[in-house]
Amino acid sequence: MFHVSKNKQFVEKVTAMEDDFGQWYTDVVKQAELVDYGVVRGTMIIKPYGYALWENIRDELDRRIKETGHTNVYFPLFIPESLLQKEKDHIEGFAPEVAWVTHGGEEELSERICVRPTSEVLFCEYYAKNIHSYRDLPMLYNQWSNVVRWEKTTRPFLRSLEFLWQEGHTAHATEEDAAQETAKMLEIYADVLENYMAIPVLRGRKTDKEKFAGANYTLTVETLMHDGKALQAGTSHHFGDGFAKAFDITYLDENGDRQYVHQTSWGMTTRLIGALIMVHGDNRGLVIPPRMAPTQAMIVPIAQHKEGVLDQAYDLCDELKDIVRVDIDASDKMPGWKFNEYEMKGIPVRIEMGPRDIAKEQVVLVRRDTGEKEFVALAQLQNRLPQLLEDIQQNLFNRALAHRNEKTSVATTMDEFAKILDEKSGFIKAMWCGDNACEEKIKEETSATSRCIPFEQETVADTCVYCGKEAKELVYWGRAY
């Protein structure tokens, strides 16, 4: 039915992921026109299609953040060095990757100014001034911004000198209130990932070694990429009153007693786009889950200069506009070129319409996730299309979940641990004694880090996988981005 063009030297545009996953990623990012490299090393230009993906994630997340009572604000890009110094662990954690402003014009500044790597201290400084009474609490702020971290090695979306994110900063009367907030926001992150981006997550707590600099504890949603490496997709931190004490953030309670506030912060970044690519993508390029796809269906007219084809295709586009996010490519590129282009961009469904279809009052639907084609009568299309999109959404989630399960193993000895990493990669469930030294050693010897201590605990052995002493808890381990 589909005749193959004569001079068929189909140019493989992206490196096969089996051959070189890193190169595959770079190829997709470039060829799906998500980013260009910036002029300064490690920076990126997010192009229209890449930014459209970010806008969708942002809007979805923003809606949930607002629904849970938070308000958006905007704090400055700059932090004076003295302010950053106030919380000891925090500055120690971030100092190595801070970009400093030392001059204003030609004049050297009396105090260096830091370009924010994160904004905890600014919020703290503000809270110290603006929180007085228990009636002021909770203070639930969020901001959408860029931050800068001077990383040594960079990759688009996964690790760049500058990236976009949302950072929530909240202050609460009690430790329990803060704990609830921390958990609530993690659940929102999980919801966006699973139900919007079709990326299954592992919910858990970070070990002390991996927690945020200055936090009591850090909750995380961990995801698994197609190559078996883990990616931290969102974190939610409970600060207790550590920052409050460093910044003197206090309020008067109902009894007139002076109390420290309890704080949280939580963030998600443009890194999510990296996750999207590496979870759903394939050797033809991106695969975007329908719910978040800027364009859900692309109409490709066939033999479009033939009588009536384009008119019919435009009519179809108009009809579908109220039902799905649909677009039409009526450029005079070859159909084959368009097929490849929109597969590269991960558009969930392609609608082909040519003279033969028009004669039969049908169209051809081709789904991006499986490549399956089906013929659908025009009269049925308005029912079938939303259904198909939903199928694709579900299939992507199920597929990713099956992959993660398949790539999750149990290790009870370090030999097993090493063997799994070597042969299979993915998540490794192993017991841990709770000693930081064992965690360090495991990283040193295998380059795997602890990903999280899952909320749903189980026991796969009685002893620590490294030292053999009594095990305290189960930890998910893995090599990570």
Partner RNA sequence: CGGGAUGUGGCUCAGCUUGGUAGAGCACUAGCAUGGGGUGCUAGGGGUCGCAGGUUCAAGUCCUGUCAUCCCGACCA
Interface residues toward RNA, by CB under 7 A? 1-5, 7-8, 10-11, 13, 22, 26, 31, 37, 40-42, 93, 96-97, 149, 151-155, 157-161, 163, 212, 232, 235, 267, 269-271, 284, 302-305, 332-341, 343-344, 352-357, 364, 366, 371, 443, 447, 480-481
- Segments in 160-260 forming alpha helices (H): 175-191, 242-247
> Least distance from C-beta 293 to RNA, angstroms?
17
Burial category of 150 from C-beta neighbours within 10 Å (exposed 0-12, middle 13-18, buried 19 and up): middle
Residue closer to RNA, measured from CB, 3 or 258: 3
Looking at the Cβ atoms of 199 and 364, the one nearer to RNA is: 364
Q: For RNA, give the closer residue by CB, 402 or 437.
A: 437
DSSP annotation of 231 reads E
CB of 270 to RNA, least distance (A): 6
Smallest gap, in angstroms, from Cβ of residue 245 to RNA?
22
Cβ(243)–Cβ(120) under 8 Å?
yes
In whole angstroms, the minimum distance from the beta carbon of 199 to RNA comes to 14
Q: What share of the chain is helix, strand, coil (3-state, %, to 5)?
A: 35, 30, 35
Between 169 and 251, CB nearer to RNA:
169
- How far is Cα 237 from Cα 214, in angstroms, rounded to an integer? 9
CB of 453 to RNA, least distance (A): 16
Pick between residue 335 and residue 434 the one whose CB is nearest to RNA: 335
Q: Which burial class, exposed, middle or buried, applies to 223 when counting CB atoms under 10 A from its CB (0-12, 13-18, 19+)?
A: buried
- CA gap 261, 170 in Å, rounded: 10
Strands 408-410 and 427-432 come out as parallel
Cα dihedral 374, 377, 381, 383 sign? negative
Which residues are CB-contacts of 318 (< 8 A; sequence separation ≥ 6)? Answer: none
Quick one: 163 or 427, whose CB is closer to RNA? 163
Residue with tokens 């050797």: 283
Least Cβ distance, residue 298 to RNA (angstroms): 12
Residue 452 CA to residue 478 CA, distance in Å, equals: 10
Nearest distance in Å: CB 303, RNA: 4
Contact 300, 351 (CB under 8 A): yes
Nearer residue to RNA within complex by CB, 250 or 404: 404
As measured in angstroms, the least distance from the Cβ of 254 to RNA is 37
Q: Bridge-partner residues for 258, per DSSP?
A: 252
Q: Helix or strand or coil: residue 147?
A: strand
In angstroms, give the least distance from the CB of 129 to RNA.
28
**Whose Cβ is closer to RNA: residue 161's or residue 388's?**
161
Q: Toward RNA, which CB reaches closer, 260 or 427?
A: 427
Task: Using the minimum distance from each CB to RNA, give the nearer residue, 453 or 471.
Answer: 453
Tell me whether residue 37 or residue 134 sits nearer to RNA (CB atom).
37
Q: How far is the CB of 32 from RNA (least distance, A)?
A: 10
Shortest Å distance, C-beta 374 to RNA: 11
348 DSSP 8-state letter: S
- Secondary structure letter of residue 64 according to DSSP: H
User: Closest separation between CB of residue 364 and RNA, Å?
Assistant: 4
- The CB-of-331 to RNA minimum distance in angstroms stands at 8
Three-state DSSP at 140 gives: strand
Distances in Å between the Cα of 150 and the Cα atoms of 13, 109, 147, 269, 466 are 32, 21, 10, 16, 34
Quickly list DSSP for 394-422.
Answer: HHHHHHHHHHHHHTEEE-SSHHHHHHHHH
Select 8 or 258, whichever has its Cβ closest to RNA. 8
Q: What angle do CA 431, 432, 434 make, to 5 degrees?
A: 155
Q: Nearer Cβ to RNA, position 312 or 409?
A: 312
Per the structure block, which two tokens stand in for 209?
A: 């070694």
Q: What is the DSSP string of 274-333?
A: HHHHHHH-BTTB----GGG-SSSEEEEESSTTSTTHHHHHHHHHHHHTTTS-EEE--SSS
